[in-house]
């Protein structure tokens, strides 16, 4: 048994309200009505809610990019 410490990705929690699941996805988005082109916000999502959160933002015509969440990003 190895004790390499906690899994940093497991520490990131889904951004969906009420969800406490481990996040596995990074969702970068921007509200073009209030954010400059270089400004991005980031949500993280579990496997169950990544589609919901992406659609929530896309329905508002926000630019959205989804990518896997890596260990370095999970602890930021």
Asked if residue 40 is part of any domain, the answer here is yes
Q: Could you tell me the CA-to-CA distances from 32 to 39, 58, 74 in Å, in that order? A: 9, 12, 26
Domain that holds residue 63: 8-74
The owner of tokens 């993280």 is: 44
Q: What pLDDT, in 10s, does the model give residues 5-48?
A: 444 455 899 999 999 999 999 999 999 999 898 999 999 999 99
pLDDT tens-digit series, residues 53-74:
999 999 999 999 999 998 555 5
Of 18, 31, 4, 21, nearest in space to 69 by CA: 21
Paired strand residues for 45 = 25
Q: Measured between alpha carbons, how far is residue 47 from residues 10, 32, 65, 70 in Å?
A: 13, 27, 15, 14
pTM for this entry: 0.77
- Domain count within the chain: 1
Q: Quick check: is 1 in a domain?
A: no
């Amino acid at each position: 048994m190895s004790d390499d410490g906690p899994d940093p990705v497991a520490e990131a929690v889904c951004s969906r309200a009420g969800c406490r699941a481990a996040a596995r996805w990074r969702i970068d988005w921007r509200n073009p009505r209030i954010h400059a082109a270089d400004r991005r916000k980031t949500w993280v999502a579990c496997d169950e809610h990544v589609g919901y959160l992406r659609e929530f933002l896309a329905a508002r015509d926000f630019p959205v990019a989804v990518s896997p969440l890596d260990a370095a990003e999970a602890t930021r």
